[in-house]
């Protein structure tokens, strides 16, 4: 896709590109290159000199059981966030799509959590789930559950999942609703005439036709859980207790901040970059497919 | 639908949706209530579900004085910082993306493709994966605790450039030819024809980017150390002291409400633009 009518000017296009290219070079490419370089270096204890050590940092990382624990936590965390927020959003979108009055009003009431900062979402949920003052925590305790996210890793992970999924419902709801409204009524009506009940229609027609949207949202939700939940985790649990809520991004942050392991932190960054590249590629393949359909 | 519906089938969607809305709104409702009670009531874990009488005091102390026991900056300053940061990020992103998309679409020059790909690849380098090296660059440039340091590294964005590129492609070629016949140069065409046509796209993108900027957390956390440079999203985290006897929860909740208000209002008031922006940035 190219324009036929263009302007010709020798220097102007470079001047127009300059601001963006400059910011990109200084704050994207240079740091990314530094991360890659650092991941192959080992600093001495005083940070005075550093040696090129090939893949030592990576080998150390993959020998470290705590890295696998973080990997597993990230996997469980993003899977739960995606599953929870996608299923709630789908249920609500199907209901809103069911030709009821006030669908736009419901939409207004459901989309605003998108605008709440992840860190603020964490604060709101802490206020509900804190074992000593939270209202919901009190409810859980009165039901006989020994709710204590400060000591119990599963409880801590649960509360971070809840806060993160809560924020993502609105996004998923919007896209599911748009996807549902794009399904031709005639297809569903034809099935209804053939005698398929609502439940069967949903499983055999609506859900398969919605699968491109679902797949797209799945990728978006995983990217969200990986990278955009830092604020939620930092306000709620700081990765604890005993690293039970430490995701890959949080580990890069905490390993580098304690100052010690710059090479290891850089190696983790590089692995994260590879994950982003993979996820972006999947996302774009999907978008291309959708365009050609 | 072809089937006739019973009373239950007609009411069920409303019931489910109302429950959904209630669950989604509950955390915010509690925050609104929390801001109206004394801290002692909250700390006991005895907060009722109805508003108390301390609202004015909480908001006044939050905005003007700041939580006294942690001696932080008042939230008024934080709000101003957040607003400046969000505006700079949104306007900056839109400006540099408009210019670069214009260059890529309307000119033929060596390295055009290379420049486009260079911008495109930044999609794959979110701040989260390059935090410490980026921090070091910002520190070396003397940008710690400055607005420039807070906003510049977040300003480059492939998404906005891609969006404007896509839109410019749909602008009819006749407009370029017509303005050439009128003797207009490229910049005149850009300002007089292209910008007015891009207004809706710019507005939709602005809504999304303002929210993006306002809600930033990790980068401001690293780059700001001075209290008077703090944004509200960072400030609220620092109000929560680990031993919860000291945390003044009514102030924290008032601050949470203030932190949510601007972006949530934008989403509700500009709902159409917001939905459009959201759908377009994901293409």
Contact A231, B218 (CB under 8 A): yes
Q: From the list A19, A112, A128, which residue is nearest B264 (CB)?
A: A112
pLDDT tens across A78-95, in order? Answer: 999 999 999 999 999 988
Q: From the list A32, A35, A124, which residue is nearest B256 (CB)?
A: A124
Half-sphere exposure in the Cβ direction for A51 (13 Å, CA): 7
Interface check A181 vs B, CB under 8 A:
no
Task: Give the confidence band of A291 by pLDDT, cuts at 50, 70, 90.
Answer: very low
Beta-ladder partners of A52: A41
Residues in chain B: 283
Tell me what pLDDT residue B6 has. 73
Contact criterion met (CB < 8 Å) for B268 and A112 = yes
- Of chain B residues 153-172, which have a CB less than 8 A from chain A? 153, 155-156, 161, 168-169
For residue A234, CA distances in Å to A229, A254, B238 come to: 9, 10, 11
**Residue B47 pLDDT greater than 90, yes or no:** no
Tell me what pLDDT residue A241 has. 86
Report ipTM (2 d.p.).
0.88
Q: Could you tell me which residues come within 8 angstroms of residue A90 by beta carbon, excluding any fewer than 6 positions away?
A: A172, A176, A214
Pick the CATH number of A57-292 from 1.20.58.1290, 3.50.50.60, 1.10.3720.10, 3.40.50.300: 1.10.3720.10
**Residue A290 pLDDT greater than 60, yes or no:** no
Distance CA B66, CA B69 (A): 9
Work out the percent of chain A whose per-residue pLDDT is above 70.
Answer: 93
Q: From the list A16, A175, A193, which residue is nearest B102 (CB)?
A: A16
Structure tokens at B95: 């400006």
**Residue B3 pLDDT greater than 70, yes or no:** no
Distance CA A248, CA A237 (A): 15
SS3 of residue A50 by DSSP: strand
Q: From the list A28, A99, A110, which residue is nearest B156 (CB)?
A: A28
Interface check A93 vs B, CB under 8 A:
no
Question: In chain B, what residues touch A98 (CB-CB under 8 Å)?
Answer: 13
Using a 10 angstrom Cβ sphere, with 0-12 exposed, 13-18 middle and 19 or more buried, the burial of residue A243 is: middle
Give mean pLDDT, residues A70-80: 93
Q: How far is A119 from chain B (nearest CA, A)?
A: 7
Interface check A51 vs B, CB under 8 A:
no
Selected for mutation to probe chain B from A6, A17, A21 (highest B CB count within 10 Å) is A17
Task: Give the confidence band of A293 by pLDDT, cuts at 50, 70, 90.
Answer: very low
Structure tokens at B129: 């994966």
Structure tokens at A230: 């830092």
Give mean pLDDT, residues A13-32: 90
Q: From the list A20, A26, A30, which residue is nearest B100 (CB)?
A: A20
Between B2 and B176, where is the model more confident? B176
Q: How far is A52 from chain B (nearest CA, A)?
A: 18
Return the axis-axis angle of helices B7-34 and A118-129, rounded to nearest 10°: 90
Contact B104, B168 (CB under 8 A): no
**Residue in the block written with tokens 């990278």:** A227
Question: In chain A, what residues touch B28 (CB-CB under 8 Å)?
Answer: 116, 124
For residue A278, CA distances in Å to A22, A223, B281 come to: 26, 11, 19
**Tell me: domain B75-281, CATH 3.40.50.300, correct?**
no
Q: From the list A100, A128, A265, which residue is nearest B132 (CB)?
A: A265
Distance CA A52, CA B132 (A): 19
- Of chain B residues 79-118, which have a CB less than 8 A from chain A? 95-97, 99-100, 102-109, 112, 115, 118
Tell me what pLDDT residue A260 has. 63
Between A1 and B131, where is the model more confident? B131
Task: Give the confidence band of B63 by pLDDT, cuts at 50, 70, 90.
Answer: confident
Q: How far is A112 from chain B (nearest CA, A)?
A: 6
Question: In chain B, what residues touch A130 (CB-CB under 8 Å)?
Answer: 244
Give mean pLDDT, residues A100-108: 78
Using a 10 angstrom Cβ sphere, with 0-12 exposed, 13-18 middle and 19 or more buried, the burial of residue A37 is: middle
CB-CB neighbours of A271 under 10 Å: 18
Contact B192, B61 (CB under 8 A): no
Distance CA A33, CA B28 (A): 42
Give mean pLDDT, residues A247-269: 80
Distance CA B101, CA B201 (A): 13
Distance CA B62, CA B67 (A): 6
Interface check B7 vs A, CB under 8 A:
no
**Residue B95 pLDDT greater than 90, yes or no:** yes
Beta-ladder partners of A50: A43
Selected for mutation to probe chain A from B107, B169, B224, B270 (highest A CB count within 10 Å) is B107
Distance CA B75, CA B248 (A): 14
Q: From the list A7, A10, A31, which residue is nearest B137 (CB)?
A: A31
pLDDT tens across A39-56, in order? Answer: 887 766 566 667 777 777
Its pTM stands at 0.89
Return the axis-axis angle of helices A207-223 and A262-292, rounded to nearest 10°: 160
Distance CA B47, CA A160 (A): 23
Half-sphere exposure in the Cβ direction for B156 (13 Å, CA): 25
Question: In chain B, what residues touch A20 (CB-CB under 8 Å)?
Answer: 96-97, 99-100, 119, 156, 161
Distance CA B160, CA B277 (A): 10
Contact B155, B93 (CB under 8 A): yes
Q: For B42-68, b where at least 16 C-beta lie within 10 A, e where not — what string?
A: bbeeebeeeebebbeebbebbbeebbe
């Amino acid at each position: 896709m190219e324009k036929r009518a263009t302007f010709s000017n020798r220097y102007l296009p470079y001047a127009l590109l300059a601001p963006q290219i400059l910011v990109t070079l200084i704050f994207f490419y240079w740091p990314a290159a530094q991360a890659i370089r650092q991941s192959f270096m080992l600093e001495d204890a005083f940070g005075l000199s550093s040696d090129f050590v090939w893949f030592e940092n990576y080998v150390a990382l993959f020998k470290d059981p705590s890295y696998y624990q973080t990997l597993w936590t990230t996997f469980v965390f993003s899977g739960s966030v995606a599953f929870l927020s996608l299923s709630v959003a789908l249920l609500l979108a199907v209901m809103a799509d069911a030709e009821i009055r006030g669908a736009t009003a419901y939409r207004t009431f459901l989309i605003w959590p998108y605008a709440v900062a992840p860190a603020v979402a964490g604060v709101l949920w802490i206020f509900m789930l804190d074992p000593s003052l939270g209202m919901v925590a009190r409810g859980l305790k009165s039901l006989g559950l020994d709710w204590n996210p400060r000591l119990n890793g599963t409880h801590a992970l649960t509360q971070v999942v809840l806060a993160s999924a809560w924020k993502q419902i609105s996004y998923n709801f919007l896209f599911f609703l748009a996807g549902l409204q794009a399904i031709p009524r005639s297809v569903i009506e034809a099935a209804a005439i053939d005698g398929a009940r609502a439940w069967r229609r949903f499983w055999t027609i609506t859900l398969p036709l919605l699968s491109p949207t679902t797949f797209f949202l799945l990728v978006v939700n995983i990217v969200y859980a990986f990278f955009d939940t830092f604020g939620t985790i930092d306000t709620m649990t700081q990765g604890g207790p005993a690293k039970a809520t430490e995701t890959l991004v949080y580990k890069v942050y905490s390993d580098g901040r304690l100052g010690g392991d710059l090479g290891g932190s850089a190696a983790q960054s590089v692995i994260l970059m590879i994950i982003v590249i993979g996820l972006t590629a999947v996302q774009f393949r999907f978008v291309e497919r959708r365009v050609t359909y | 639908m072809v089937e006739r519906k019973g009373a239950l089938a007609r009411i069920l969607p409303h019931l489910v949706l109302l429950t959904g809305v209630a669950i989604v709104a509950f955390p915010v409702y509690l925050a609104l209530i929390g801001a109206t009670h004394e801290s002692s009531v909250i700390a006991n874990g005895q907060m009722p579900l109805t508003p108390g009488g301390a609202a004015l005091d909480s908001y006044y102390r939050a905005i003007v004085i700041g939580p006294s026991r942690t001696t932080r900056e008042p939230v008024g300053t934080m709000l101003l910082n957040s607003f400046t940061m969000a505006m700079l990020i949104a306007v900056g992103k839109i400006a540099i993306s408009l210019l670069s998309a214009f260059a890529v679409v309307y000119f033929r020059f060596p390295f055009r493709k290379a420049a486009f790909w260079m911008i495109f690849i930044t999609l794959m380098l979110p701040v989260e994966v390059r935090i410490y090296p980026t921090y070091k660059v910002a520190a070396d440039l003397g940008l710690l605790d400055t607005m420039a340091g807070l906003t510049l590294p977040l300003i480059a964005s492939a998404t906005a450039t891609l969006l404007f590129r896509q839109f410019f492609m749909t602008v009819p070629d006749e407009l370029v030819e017509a303005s050439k016949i009128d003797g207009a140069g490229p910049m005149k065409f850009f300002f007089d024809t292209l910008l007015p046509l891009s207004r809706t796209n710019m507005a939709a993108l602005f809504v999304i980017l303002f929210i993006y900027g306002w809600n930033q957390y990790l980068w401001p956390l690293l780059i700001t150390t001075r209290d008077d440079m703090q944004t509200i999203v960072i400030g609220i985290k620092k109000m929560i002291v680990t031993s919860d006897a000291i945390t003044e929860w009514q102030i924290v909740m008032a601050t949470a409400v203030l932190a949510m208000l601007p972006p949530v209002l934008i989403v509700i008031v500009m709902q159409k633009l917001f939905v459009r922006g959201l759908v377009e940035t994901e293409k």
